[in-house]
Amino acid sequence: MECDHNKLLRRNQGMKFIHDDFLLHSRTAARLYHQFAEGEPIFDYHCHLSPQDIAENRQFKNLFEIWLEGDHYKWRAMRANGVAERYCTGNAKPFEKFQAWAATVPHTLRNPLYHWTHLELKRYFGIDELLDEASAARIWAKAGQQLAGPELSAQGILKRFHVVALCTTDDPTDSLEHHRALATSDLATRVLPTFRPDKVLAVHQPAQFNAWIKRLEQAANREIRDLVRLLEALHQRHEYFHAHGCRLSDHGLTQCYADFCSLKTAAAIFSRARRGRAASPSEQAQFGAFMMLFFGRLDADKGWTKQLHLGALRNNNARLLSQLGPDTGFDSIGDFRQGTALAAYLDALERERALPKTIIYNSNPADNYLFATMLGNFPGRIPAQVQMGSGWWFLDQKEGMEWQLNALSNLGLLSRFVGMVTDSRSFMSYPRHEYFRRVLCNLIGRDVERGELPDDDTLLGPMIRNVCYANARQYLAVPAVGLGVEARKELAAGPCGTASRRRPGKPNRRNKDVEGQRQS
């Protein structure tokens, strides 16, 4: 084994930094990756891409637009490197900002940004050169030329990376006009919305809350005088999202809410917030618990998957928050207590047989084992009804992914895992799936070479393929994923029963679902 590793290292010496066996430290790992993981399609079921950019097939002018615009990971590294805000979020010219980033890159050695940067340059532009101050102008020009072509437009990128489906993150008041346009377009990728109703929980911030309720009134075309009307409007928007192919919801919470209260209490909190009185922390927690139970029931009723992103400590720099706004790179891993409230929330839904499929994303590595032990408490009719999401945010890197995979392996079933998501705002993030697959195959290959797993491709191959793609497709039950454009149009056109899914000749078990989705 050791001998093999040394041979491999020698073989890789003198190679480009991003080479075929990048991150694959044994022959078995490399073989497993190339044979079973590399060619699998991508189902990116949680991201923050702009549906408008996809619908309008945005063409990016330069590396700044596609790579730096909106990337708070890069801004953080630049600030840590002493770069002035003018070059991060300020008014410096695009090329000046890129130069500032390029000069920072050599300082990111051992930060995941160093790997991501070079993997992305290689996969999008075939660039092998390391990025630094000296190479910046050359790389800017070379990438800029290629960005003018159709292969690197928003839709070109989805095609190149074999993205069969992606789920954006959307407010319940969103019209979904771009999703609607995409549903009838020739784009092979299914672009579906996700229902993220975080703003309805903000009864402690009445100004923002009431502004949002006004938008909901417009979207649902009804007046929201009281809590019952609010629930009706949200139900209506949930149905509307469902009709547009939505099969996932998402909530960003510091902790689950578990201070359950009556309709009467929640209605009183709602009415006070509507009159401009901010809810106290305990009232906000009660209202949150009431609404989260309601959302759980809606999701269970429709067979959706609920995602819970738990534990981020956001907006920690008040001065810069007031200057730059949220999501600009001033967040941390929180140390909130998760276990009791998470168990109570899942259990409350389970008791009324209304627990939907649920994916819980953890942001604190100290809680990995806690989260992984929560899954087995709530078995359902399908394998792994409650899932542990892939390494999230600050854990979305090699070590964090390994921790998540190891916790899940030790305490749950890795073979049932629904796998990786980019969770990204950038069209340059698709190689994150490749990165994850390499990490996964490296772990499994290592175990095989140590004799801790059987060296049996009939056992390992399907597991790897499933974690890369098929588990997500099956678990999420999103309509028509994996079908070509023509087959989808055929299904949309009318009664169906003959169209196949991925392999010709296989019956399509979810035709009913497809028809339902196409009613809009």
For Zn ion, the binding residues (CB under 5 A) are 423
71 vs 423, which CB is nearer to Zn ion? Answer: 423
If the CB atoms of residues 424 and 471 are measured against Zn ion, the closer one turns out to be: 424
Cβ closest to Zn ion, residue 72 vs residue 518? 72
The greatest distance separating any two alpha carbons of the chain, rounded to the nearest whole angstrom, comes to 73
CA separation, residue 19 to residues 40, 101, 143 (Å): 19, 24, 19
Evaluate whether 389 touches 475 at the Cβ level (below 8 Å): no
Q: Which is nearer to Zn ion, 136 or 359 (CB)?
A: 359
* Minimum CB distance to Zn ion smaller for 170 or for 423: 423
Query: Closest separation between CB of residue 423 and Zn ion, Å?
Result: 4
Find residue 404's DSSP bridge partners. none
Query: Residue 21 Cβ, how far from Zn ion at the closest point, in Å?
Result: 31
Q: How many Å apart are CA 375 and CA 411, to the nearest integer?
A: 9
**Residue nearest Zn ion by beta-carbon distance:** 423
Decide if 261 contacts 290 (C-beta within 8 A).
yes
Q: Compute the least distance from the CB of residue 375 to Zn ion, in Å.
A: 20
DSSP state for residue 379 in the 8-state scheme = -
What whole-number distance in Å separates Cα of residue 334 and Cα of residue 258? 19
Instruction: Give the SS3 label for residue 89.
Output: coil
Nearest approach in angstroms of CB 489 to Zn ion is 31
Closer residue to Zn ion, CB minimum distance, 313 or 344: 313
- Helices 112-125 and 431-449 sit at what angle, rounded to 10 degrees? 110
**Residue 298 Cβ vs Zn ion, minimum distance, rounded to whole Å:** 20
**Cα–Cα separations (whole angstroms), residue 122 to 16, 20, 428, 431:** 10, 11, 11, 10
Q: Please give the Cα distance from 349 to 59 (Å, whole number).
A: 45
- Nearest distance in Å: CB 152, Zn ion: 24
Strand, helix or coil for residue 298: helix
Report, in Å, the least distance between residue 169 CB and Zn ion. 6
Nearer to Zn ion by Cβ, of 174 and 423: the residue is 423
Phi, psi of 359 (to 5 degrees): -115, 120
Strand stretches in 92-213, DSSP E: 163-167, 190-192
Question: In the Cβ-directed half-sphere of 359, how many Cα atoms lie within 13 Å?
Answer: 27
Output 127 or 201, the one with its CB closest to Zn ion: 201
- Nearest approach, Cβ of residue 306 and Zn ion (Å): 14
Side-chain-facing half-sphere of 311: CA atoms under 13 Å: 26
Q: Which is nearer to Zn ion, 309 or 488 (CB)?
A: 309
**What is the 3 state secondary structure string of 210-233?**
HHHHHHHHHHHCCCCCCHHHHHHH
Rounded-to-integer distance, Cα 88 and Cα 97, Å: 7
Rounded least distance, CB 477 to Zn ion, Å:
21
